[in-house]
Amino acid sequence: MTDPLPFGSTIGILGGGQLGRMLSVAASRLGYRTHIFEPGANPPAGHVADQVTTAAYEDRAALEAFAASVDIITYEFENIPTQALDILEAHRPIHPNREALRVSQDRLVEKRFLQDLGLATAPFAAVDTLSDLEDAIATTGTPAILKTRRFGYDGKGQARIKSANKAESALADMAGAPAILEGFVEFSREVSVIAARGLHGDVACFDPGENVHHEGILRTTTVPAHLTASQRMGAVLLAAQILSALEYVGVMGVELFVTDGGLIVNEIAPRVHNSGHWTQNGCAVDQFEQHIRAITGLPLGDGQRHADVVMENLIGDDMDKVPTLLRSAETALHLYGKAETKPGRKMGHANHIRPKSS
Amino acid sequence: MTDPLPFGSTIGILGGGQLGRMLSVAASRLGYRTHIFEPGANPPAGHVADQVTTAAYEDRAALEAFAASVDIITYEFENIPTQALDILEAHRPIHPNREALRVSQDRLVEKRFLQDLGLATAPFAAVDTLSDLEDAIATTGTPAILKTRRFGYDGKGQARIKSANKAESALADMAGAPAILEGFVEFSREVSVIAARGLHGDVACFDPGENVHHEGILRTTTVPAHLTASQRMGAVLLAAQILSALEYVGVMGVELFVTDGGLIVNEIAPRVHNSGHWTQNGCAVDQFEQHIRAITGLPLGDGQRHADVVMENLIGDDMDKVPTLLRSAETALHLYGKAETKPGRKMGHANHIRPKSS
């Protein structure tokens, strides 16, 4: 059993968005400092970090100086260039590990990984050419969704195929990128499990949250979710199985569909996850602190929930709701300090808190 | 009604200790940045601030540059040198106001202020000379406590006088500083009210917390406190009266003794207060955010509590409890990132959370 990272150490965080920002605040609660690496100017995480490096992921000297200034490295997003990881990993441990990134950076690799674990996924097929796509549609039926294998988030890089004759235009939307066709799943609810695995193999999960998406972007997460006790247990066990298979260290978001036939894994994210933001106001240890605990070798929080929460994302013009939210007695507001409001941009979230019901 | 400070603005904070640190995090949740001014190197608040100035309060150029870089100024401690305030106030608004500082920087002025409001205090008398002290002891009786009028905190600058023949040695402990003798109060409980008043005169209070002190330092605060409904109401009204009288803007800590004869005001602190740390895990809007809301002109949170909390200070070697606290399912840990553990130094606190009882 290795000792935990000493208090006062510095955690390097790749990515300076809202997730890095909230990770940085959580690290501070445990007595750690953070150093943010982010190509974009004025990153939200920089407002609450000890140090910030503004540099490209191709800047070897900046990456090496960053690595030299920190004790361990983590990240807020999964699409970090491989070459940057190679440079960093030569100097400092990176958590979660490369295998988790390899699997989650590519939708096809991820689906096959889940399938190999015996977990249910939507029907899928790899699509590189129009003929692949035609075959794939024969497998999945329509409607289906064509997605780029890499670099998709918040519904970007996706095209719905309502009928087979729309295949060609959908493929054109992929702009030549390798793609995957996913069949539609008839589900009654979308839930997600925020799970953590520590350096010593210990696993802890938060209560599953029930998610509502709109136009490919998460809108609300509600705890407790409407799940039976066995569904709840199934969701947690399945998440634990994924983490263990990857020898994962850190927090992972596992999105699930609840269907009549059981739970289907939609996707996994090797990082803190938007659907876990409710934990900031519902748990003693939130997902951000849980991630920091996991990667530093501290004991994990057990995920116990002490309140009910509805997390509401504030996207683009939802910022107009802020004056009202500020007047709500039950609402904890979390703004991200982004300089500009844009349509589809996540600007903050509100956690609506109620005394615990069950 | 003036508009609130625009999101993205910078709040200057005088003092880089744990209170400044937690104010900075709260400001970030509302989309503000912070700039810490602190004479000491490596201030805890600097780990989670956008900017840090390390300079003395006598450094006019540094104060002016600091003021020029921020939109409004607040502070985490009341003993800011008057000259520094003069320089800063010429450039930017400072909240809470000078009157609040004037009253709370001097125990004698504070007691007289409270007395003028018709509020009960411990019996007291000004002490500059041994003959003053002898007269004062005749007024208050023994035991009594001799305190410096200024710069006292956490039990420092105080001497107990058990009997009149100890007067001379107690006065020697004051090292020539103007002092005040306070008589002992027979109380059943110590409670405090964390109250806030906004830029527009609106007032909100958190539930009174019940405090346990040991050797002059706060050890625990528990909510809900053991108070009758009328005591609770009395405490809140009394706090509101103090804030209104000072035309105060920000959060204030009001310490009270509960006696058979009613509530007695022990002292007031024109800032966020250790006995309000429980709000971080018991309320949607904690005392730090409440202070930021007050000084920026945002609507105040209403103070509603959604959980029961016992706040436990971690002082000096209490840090040895951290491994155990990290394993407690109900405990939210808040460490301050101080480089060195010293006896009597506040290193962090733990909020033990339970579902709301009443």
What value does the mean pLDDT take over residues B245-274?
Answer: 97
Query: What digits encode the pLDDT tens for the residues B281-321?
Result: 999 999 999 999 999 999 999 999 999 999 999 999 999 99
Most distant CA pair in chain A, distance: 60
pLDDT of residue B327: 96
Q: Is B155 among the annotated ligand-binding positions?
A: yes
Is the pLDDT at B241 greater than 90? The verdict is yes
User: Is A28 close to B8, i.e. CB distance below 8 A?
Assistant: no
User: Is B326 close to A299, i.e. CB distance below 8 A?
Assistant: yes
CB B121 within 8 A of CB B185: no
pLDDT of residue B139: 87
Contacts of B47 (CB under 8 A, 6+ apart): A28, A33, A34, A49, A50, B21, B337
Is the pLDDT at A2 greater than 80? The verdict is no
Read out DSSP for A260-285? TTEEEEEEEESS--GGGTTHHHHBSS
Phi, psi of A338 (to 5 degrees): -75, 140
pLDDT of residue B165: 85
User: Is B337 close to A32, i.e. CB distance below 8 A?
Assistant: yes
User: Is B335 close to A7, i.e. CB distance below 8 A?
Assistant: yes
Contacts of B51 (CB under 8 A, 6+ apart): B10, B33, B34, B35, B36, B69
pLDDT of residue A153: 62
CATH numbers and ranges of domains, chain B: 10-94 (3.40.50.20), 123-183 (3.30.1490.20), 189-355 (3.30.470.20)
pLDDT of residue A139: 87
Q: Return the DSSP state at A95.
A: S
What value does the mean pLDDT take over residues A274-278?
Answer: 98
pLDDT of residue B1: 58
For tokens 């023994």, the residue is B142
What value does the mean pLDDT take over residues B123-142?
Answer: 92
What value does the mean pLDDT take over residues A300-321?
Answer: 96
pLDDT of residue A22: 98
Phi, psi of B241 (to 5 degrees): -65, -40
Between A8, A49, A334, which is nearest B29 by CB? A334
pLDDT of residue B151: 78
Between A31, A301, A335, which is nearest B337 by CB? A31
Query: What digits encode the pLDDT tens for the residues B154-200?
Result: 667 788 999 888 888 888 888 888 999 999 999 999 999 999 999 99
CB B236 within 8 A of CB B208: yes
Contacts of A54 (CB under 8 A, 6+ apart): A38, A39, A40, A41, A43
Contacts of B169 (CB under 8 A, 6+ apart): B159
Peptide bond preceding B323 in cis form (omega within 30 of 0): no
pLDDT of residue A315: 97
Residue B336 CA to residue B352 CA, distance in Å, equals 17
Contacts of A166 (CB under 8 A, 6+ apart): none
Substitution target in A29, A35, A202, A298 with the highest count of B β-carbons within 10 Å is A29
Residue B133 Ramachandran class (φ > 0 left, ψ -120 to 50 alpha, else beta): alpha
Residue B345 CA to residue A129 CA, distance in Å, equals 67
For tokens 């290795």, the residue is A2
Residue A291 CA to residue B268 CA, distance in Å, equals 39
Task: Tell which residue, B163, B173, B166, has the closest CA to residue B142.
Answer: B163
Query: What digits encode the pLDDT tens for the residues B103-127?
Result: 999 999 999 999 999 999 999 999 9
- Find chain A residues with C-beta within 8 A of B355's C-beta: 306-307, 355-356
User: Is A307 close to B355, i.e. CB distance below 8 A?
Assistant: yes
Which of A41-55, A163-177, B24-38 shows the lowest mean pLDDT across its residues? A163-177
Query: What digits encode the pLDDT tens for the residues B33-66?
Result: 999 999 999 999 999 999 999 999 999 999 999 9
Confidence grade of residue A205 (pLDDT, cut at 50, 70, 90) = very high
Chain B: give the shortest CA distance to residue A354, in Å.
Answer: 7
Is the pLDDT at A124 greater than 80? The verdict is yes
Write out the binding residues of A for ATP: 107, 147, 152-158, 182-185, 190, 213, 266-267
pLDDT of residue A173: 87
Query: What digits encode the pLDDT tens for the residues A74-103?
Result: 999 998 999 999 999 999 999 999 999 999
Is the pLDDT at A163 greater than 90? The verdict is no
Here the tokens at position A39 are: 């190509």
| Element containing residue A107 per DSSP (H, E) | helix A107-116
| Element containing residue A74 per DSSP (H, E) | strand A72-75
With a pLDDT cut of 90, the percent of chain A lying above it is: 88
Confidence grade of residue B16 (pLDDT, cut at 50, 70, 90) = very high
Q: How would you label B272-285 residue by residue, b for 16+ Cβ within 10 Å and e otherwise?
A: bbbbbbbbbbbbbb
Which residue type is seen at B275?
A: S
CB A180 within 8 A of CB A110: no
Confidence grade of residue B153 (pLDDT, cut at 50, 70, 90) = low
What value does the mean pLDDT take over residues A148-160?
Answer: 79
User: Is A337 close to B47, i.e. CB distance below 8 A?
Assistant: no
3-state secondary structure string across chain B: CCCCCCCCCEEEEECCCHHHHHHHHHHHHCCCEEEEEECCCCCHHHHHCCEEEECCCCCHHHHHHHHHHCCEEEECCCCCCHHHHHHHHCCCCECCCHHHHHHHCCHHHHHHHHHHCCCCECCEEEECCHHHHHHHHHHHCCCEEEEECCCCCCCCCEEEECCHHHHHHHHHHCCCCCEEEEECCCCCEEEEEEEEECCCCCEEECCCEEEEEECCEEEEEEECCCCCHHHHHHHHHHHHHHHHHCCCCEEEEEEEEEECCEEEEEEEECCCCHHHCCHHHHECCCHHHHHHHHHHCCCCCCCCECEEEEEEEEEHHHHHHHHHHHCCCCEEEEECCCCCCCCCCEEEEEEEEEECCC
ipTM of the complex: 0.93
